[in-house]
């Protein structure tokens, strides 16, 4: 046997005691008392369990889970309440916008916009308008003009004229006679708000589609309503074409066997492209006569 191996066995077995006590290493395990064995086993178990106990401390208890569930329920209730409040605010704002539109249209009820009527640099606007009413429309009684002014940029040519009449009877009489202007370049339209103009633009487009398919069908646009026979439809920027029974597209499909879904989508897309995100400049271009309604009576 080599010298190294002899020295190894002569040194005795290595210390395997848990506490590393060299004095106890000379004692055999069989010589340990029961108390010593229990103490040493307890130390080993504590050493093994300590990391596990530390991990368990970080775990949620049953009470913690109950608190979390209660907090989640409170958050859900608050979220639902906030959703309801936001919905009510949207409805309130929409209602206010509708009321403002009604008020603004009421202020414009005696107004007319006249396009294509030439006024000289030093011309009297009221006199030119009055002469047109008498000579082209054949009005026997000249209506009283409260005000008449040019619209649009001062440098623009052939600018539209905003006319305010004394009463609505005069306005209605003029509207009835606008068919006399069909052979001229002069047009007369009502002074609608921008919102009503946009709604009418869509409704007039729908009317044109229906008339091309059914020329004899009684279809007309009255203010912000599309009237087909005795049924009334209106345009909502969120819901689209609406009928008192629900979806206007479905009602027309049921009544006329005509599906307008794709045609209306193209109309809306075309209108959105025309607007181009600049509502103010669009309205200004309309007032400057770049976009004019078809001459003649209201459809």
Contact 117, 162 (CB under 8 A): no
- pLDDT bucket at 272, cuts 50 / 70 / 90: confident
Mean pLDDT, to the nearest integer, of 26-50? 74
**Cα 225 from Cα 242, distance rounded (Å):** 10
Cβ atoms within 10 A of the Cβ of 107, count?
11
SS (H, E, C) 121-185: CCCCHHHHHHHHHHHCCCCCCCCCEEEEEECCCCCCCCCCEEEEECCHHHHHHHHHCHHHHCCCC
Q: pLDDT of 159-186, one tens digit each?
A: 899 999 998 899 999 999 999 999 999 9
What are 203's two structure tokens?
Answer: 């409704």
The pLDDT value given to residue 123: 85
pLDDT of residue 130: 94
Q: What's the whole-number average pLDDT of the chain?
A: 80
Burial class (CB in 10 A: 0-12, 13-18, 19+), 231: middle
Under the banding of pLDDT at 50, 70 and 90, the label for residue 105 is confident
Residue 252 predicted with pLDDT over 80? yes
Strands 187-190 and 145-150, bridge-based pairing? unpaired
**Mean pLDDT (whole number) for 98-115:** 88
Closest to 203 (Cα-Cα) out of 243, 254, 151: 243
Q: pLDDT above 70 covers what percent of the chain? A: 79
Characterize the bridge pairing of strands 231-236 and 240-243. antiparallel
Choose between 274 and 71: higher pLDDT.
71
Cβ burial of 60 (10 Å; 0-12, 13-18, 19+) is exposed
In the predicted structure, residue 57 carries a pLDDT above the cut 90: no
Q: Write phi, then psi, for 111 (nearest 5 degrees).
A: -95, 150
Which CATH number applies to 108-191: 3.30.70.1820, 3.80.10.10, 3.40.50.300, 1.20.58.1030? 3.30.70.1820
Q: Mind giving me the DSSP string for 197-247?
A: HHHHHHHHHHHHHHHHH-TTS-EEEETTEEEETTEEEEEETTTEEEETTEE
Q: How many whole angstroms separate alpha carbon 106 and alpha carbon 97? A: 14
Per-residue pLDDT at 261 exceeds 80: yes
Rounded to a whole number of angstroms, the distance between the first and last alpha carbons of the chain is 123
pLDDT score, position 2: 46
Quickly count: other Cβ atoms within 10 Å of residue 199's Cβ. Answer: 22
pLDDT at 37: 77
Residue 56 — very low, low, confident or very high, per pLDDT cuts 50/70/90?
low
Q: In which band, very low, low, confident or very high, does the pLDDT at 100 lie, cut at 50, 70 and 90?
A: confident
pLDDT in tens, 70-86: 888 888 898 899 999 99
């Amino acid at each position: 046997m080599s010298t190294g191996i002899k020295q190894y066995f002569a040194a005795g077995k290595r210390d395997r005691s848990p506490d590393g006590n060299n004095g106890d290493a000379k004692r055999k395990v069989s010589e340990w008392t029961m108390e010593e064995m229990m103490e040493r086993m307890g130390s080993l178990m504590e050493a093994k369990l300590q990391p596990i106990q530390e991990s368990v401390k970080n775990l949620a208890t049953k009470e913690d889970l109950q608190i979390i569930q209660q907090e989640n329920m409170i958050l859900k209730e608050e979220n639902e309440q906030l959703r309801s409040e936001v919905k009510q605010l949207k409805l309130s704002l929409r209602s206010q916008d509708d009321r403002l539109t009604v008020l603004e249209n009421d202020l414009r009820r005696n107004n007319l916009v006249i396009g294509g009527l030439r006024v000289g640099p030093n011309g009297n606007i009221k006199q030119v308008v009055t002469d047109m009413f008498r000579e082209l429309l054949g009005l026997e009684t000249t209506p009283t003009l409260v005000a008449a002014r040019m619209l649009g940029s001062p440098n623009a040519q052939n600018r539209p004229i905003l006319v305010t009449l004394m009463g609505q009877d005069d306005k209605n009489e003029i509207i009835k006679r606008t068919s006399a202007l069909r052979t001229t370049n002069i047009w007369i339209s009502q002074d609608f708000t921008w919102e009503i103009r946009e709604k009418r633009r869509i409704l007039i487009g729908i009317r044109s589609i229906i008339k091309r398919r059914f020329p004899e069908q009684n279809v007309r646009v009255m203010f912000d309503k599309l009237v087909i026979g005795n049924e009334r439809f209106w345009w909502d920027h969120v819901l689209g074409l609406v009928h008192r029974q629900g979806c206007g597209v479905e009602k027309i499909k049921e009544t006329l066997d005509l599906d307008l879904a794709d045609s209306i989508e193209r109309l809306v897309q075309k209108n959105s492209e025309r607007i181009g995100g600049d509502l103010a400049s669009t309205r200004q271009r309309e007032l400057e006569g770049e976009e004019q309604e078809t001459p003649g009576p209201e459809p």
